[in-house]
Structure 1
Amino acid sequence: MRARTNAIAMIDGQLSLVDAGTVEGHRQFVQYQDGIVRLLDDQLEEIAAHELEASRVLAARGLEHLAVSDGSNLLILGAAPGTVAATGTPEAAVTVADVNCDAAAFVGDLLIATAPAAETHRVLLINPATGDVVDEATIDADGATAFIIPHPTELVVVIEFPMGQDGCVAQRVEVISGSLRVDEILCGQDPVIAGFNPSGTRLLVTPYPDDPETARVLAWPSMDEIGRLSADDLVTEIGIGLAACWINEERIAIYAMEDSLVVTNESLGEPVRARLLLDFRDEGDLETLVSLDAGRVAAGVWTPEGRFTLIFEI
């Protein structure tokens, strides 16, 4: 049995999408490339764009508020009063000097950002209006690159710190009365955090590449296991890949490596393979899955001829 998919569009190259919030129930994203920052809708069609000098966009609320890196400093655009023009584009920046961040997320009225340090990683709580660091924590994660997964409704994020052959650590970071509370979760399990369901009651965790055997769904915030799916369950030899996302509240998309896209229920049960444009056994590889809106997904695909982004409904 196979799940039905409906291809909507194919875009050259793989898009590096930054969640830019929800407007009237529809998600928006920011894409930065070649000196242009673009606001995209839930079909990845352009809403607005403007020029921007940065090395990377880390966090966004529309185009009005952006956290970006210039390679040496953290810049917060449009955060201070009077800094957004009539066009909706930021005109001024608050600079957090000498902080080269690798991830960030707006949480309530504050910004959580991460920055590598000597054999550790800094987690910073920043006032975006002033650039002041109001609290800070240090994580033992040598050589890591951080990824921040915000909770959809709470003032909390999960930060994943993959460290190559040294595995991965995940931290629950909550903002309480203007301070950080940091707790490690899933200790010793090398978790890859694929994201929260839309209501924020469940967390999808995929396996680290060193042991690509089992994906799990955990209750939030208790972290009790609700369901799991193994490579043996799928009868696939290579294992379960990093690419995974919630399709909606009831369904999950996950990748059986060099095999197929797999669709399951909200507890990783009832898996069925989905037919896409490529046969992943010999024509390409599925590298990313991003939920655009309920039932709509963007897949980052590699082929020998190049990379592309496929938007489809399922």
Structure 2
Amino acid sequence: MTMNKDNMFIQCVSGIGACFILAVTYVSSLYVWTVRYREPRDHPATIRRRFISAFCMLFVSPLFVWISINQDVLNKVGLLQIMGLRLSGSFSALIFPAILTVILFAGPLAVLVYDGMFFLIFNKRYLTLCLRSLHWQRNYAVAPLSEEFTFRACMMPILSQFMSTKIAILVCPWFFGVAHLHHLMDKISNGCNMAEAVTVSCIQCGYTSLFGLYSAFLFARTGHFLAPFIAHVICNFMGFPDFVGVLSRKDGMKGVFICVYIAGFVFWCMLLFPLTNPALYDWQWD
């Protein structure tokens, strides 16, 4: 019995260690260019170079899965399906997680609609400018794609190999949250003082860890890469909810928006499990 517990502990540490190395590899790939180039994070040249890093990680990250997963499981299921890259259940993975995430952001969306900002997405000129923007491509395409691929499609199978899926859902987000602490260096290099940079980075780490928990849950329940990817795109578009802005409104809409915020969260909680029912995605929950 003791030997089995020791083996389980060693395997668990091995899985966490593999994910840690993968997270470090991902972040390092973004900064490898700084050895030669010194442009800030939002400089077009920096964004393009990091696009290259993200593209390379699409080939590097699966190697960690291939090395970590039991060979019998790989032969039986296949590497792509283990990482949630499958056609079966794709329509559900595109629709239901999007609906669920929009419900969660019902409050912020209501504010955008009331203030008229939401309708900008239907403006052809605005959309054209967005699609041509490297910042837009980074925030709503490349970053969600590469991050979900590495931190969910690759890390979740590795962790699930050595621990229960439920525990993996709790462990995986920490790699994602801590990985965002690298923005601390960007803030300091842009002239932000240490105290402010640390505070903002810690808040970002907490927020991204919470999202990572939701994203890992979606991946585990649906068995699909598309589910957390779509949720990530929506969350990046909405940003962190502006609770302070709602509470400080003076136009008589504060009470309405607070109710919508609460209602969105309540309905999200009610629909979280029904809309992620594995049967909808042709998937079997562990």
Quickly name the TM-score band, shorter chain normalised: under 0.3
Higher relative contact order (CA closer than 8 Å, sequence separation 6+):
2
Q: What TM-score, normalized by structure 1, do the two folds share?
A: 0.21
Bigger Cα Rg:
2
More strand by share: 1
**Structure 2 length-normalised TM:** 0.22
